[in-house]
Chain A
Amino acid sequence: MAEKVRQQIMDAEGLNRTIARLAHEIVERNRGTENLAILGIRTRGVSIAERIISKIHAIENTRLPLGILDVTMYRDDVFKKIQQPLVQTTEIDFDIDDKVVILVDDVLFTGRTIRAALDAIIDFGRPTKIELAVLIDRGHRELPIHADYVGEHVATSLQDDIEVRLKQVDGMDGVFLVKSLKVN
């Protein structure tokens, strides 16, 4: 039997500060906002991307273009899951050629979603550079992928779950670590 313990690792304010820091880092490292474009991975990556864009707007007074990426069609485990994932639309209505694309997702885990996202982006054009921003890096990579901007590193075991809750999607802000404890 496994018992689950849910523990909050980030509250609404903490989340807000972390996203603000990510926005600052993105602008700092790219020396401004020129040529930048943000791509959020469905579903929660999009909400985080929207918030990064409004933070950058507050700092630099420019609004970066937002694209929405659905990577279901590019996944390598589409047919391995019992429930088949719903395919949703990708919406990128700007040219990504010669742009610096900041890819945004909520949790970085095995790296397979990011691998799928990279394939998807390449089908839309040839950015000069792709950088990755994630709210939580929980380790356990199965591919040689790393994030350029990380909100927080969280040590997890493979059985744990990270739950990111965002106002736009879930009605509240917060990040939770759900630990599976073995009970004998």
Chain B
Amino acid sequence: MDFKRKHLLELKGSTREEISLILDTAESFKEVLTRPIPKVPTLRGKTVVNLFFESSTRTRISFELAEKRLSADSVNFTASGSSLSKGETLRDTARNIEAMKIDMVVIRHCAAGAPHFLTQCVEASIINAGDGQHEHPTQGLLDLMTLRDKFKTLEGLNVAIIGDIAHSRVARSNIYGLQAMGAKVALCGPPTLIPLEAQDWGTEIFLKLDEALEWANVLNVLRLQLERQQRGLFPSIREYHRLYGITRQRLEQCKKEVTILHPGPINRGVEIESELADSEYSLILNQVTNGVAVRMAVLYLLSGGKGSEELEAE
């Protein structure tokens, strides 16, 4: 199948075929990463700007590596130390960067919809690297890839997303991606951290962790976003850990093989016991490796991907 999208803004509305194409392409790029010279000339001559208005380690490095492995030229922009602190608007920043002739923009922004907005003011392909509490599609894709590597298919898998659903863009991308691929999704967390819109997602909702553990083959444990929690949505971190923290003892009580994912960064000892994050249950480092491969696939497919209207015109 041909990839027809120009931008990657969200996984909502993606088809199984599209996601499979991205994951298959990512598997091929993953092999490149194991070569003596882990670099291919595929995107030579393409220029990518990484616009990070919010702090990030993993995602930014992962995108940068993906760009370099594909021989694209990349330029980094971080909010501090830019004209943003002088009061320039997002639109002006973007249009100015575009005037320097670029092909793709990777953007992370604290406002949901910022990547969509960019598609209206610049010609380049836009990749969403996380926007507010909306979506983080490449994280969703790398989670799918990691699970597909382990289970061969996502069909029929029971994935419980645990923790701070309300503030999590990772949760939203996971839900849409997993459901498109035929997996079943459940949410589990304190009622104050499960958003009202969750009832429209067609997921199970568990308020007790043990019920979720009973049901799931896979736990995707979210980070408790302490920086977004000024309103006291739960009494204390200690209580959160006691009720929703994943510990070895708890897993062994439910006597089941589970696989653990975590998008990082981990608050060790809060949402997950420190030792468990490094245990045989955890695929956390596989996620990071796959992250580079998935981003290479997205960059490759989007740089050749033409808008569907353009295709028809040809």
Contact = CB atoms under 8 A, between A and B. Distances in A.
Interface of A: 70, 72-74, 78-79, 82-84, 86-91, 119-120, 123-125
B304 A79 contact: yes
B223 to A, nearest CB: 32
Interface string B292-312: 000001001101110000010
Contacts of B31: 89-91
B42 A82 contact: no
Contacts of A72: 42
Contacts of B304: 78-79, 84
Centre residue among A74, A79, A90 by max chain B CB count within 10 A: A79
Contact of A78 (B36, B42, B311, B314): B42
5 contacts: A72-B42, A83-B2, A89-B31, A124-B36, A124-B37
Contacts of A120: 40
B28 A88 contact: yes
In the A-B complex, the 3 residue pairs with the closest CB atoms:
A84-B304, A73-B40, A123-B37
Contacts, number: 50
B42 A74 contact: yes
A79 B303 contact: yes
Q: Is the interface of A mostly helix, strand, loop or mixed?
A: loop
Contacts of A73: 28-29, 32, 40-42
Contact of B2 (A70, A84, A124): A84
Chain B interface residue number, banded: 20 to 34
Nearest to B4: A84
Nearest to B301: A84
A84 B6 CA distance: 13
A91 B30 CA distance: 12
A82 B314 contact: yes
Given A79-B303, A87-B28, A123 B314 contact: no
A89 B28 contact: yes
B30 to A, nearest CB: 8
Nearest to B311: A82
B35 interface: yes
B211 interface: no
B247 interface: no
B92 interface: no
Nearest to A96: B36
A87 B300 contact: yes
Contacts of B3: 84
Given A123-B35, A124-B36, A125-B36, A86 B41 contact: no
A6 B300 CA distance: 36
A153 to B, nearest CB: 31
B14 to A, nearest CB: 17
B39 interface: yes
B302 to A, nearest CB: 10
A70 B28 contact: yes
Contacts of B36: 123-125
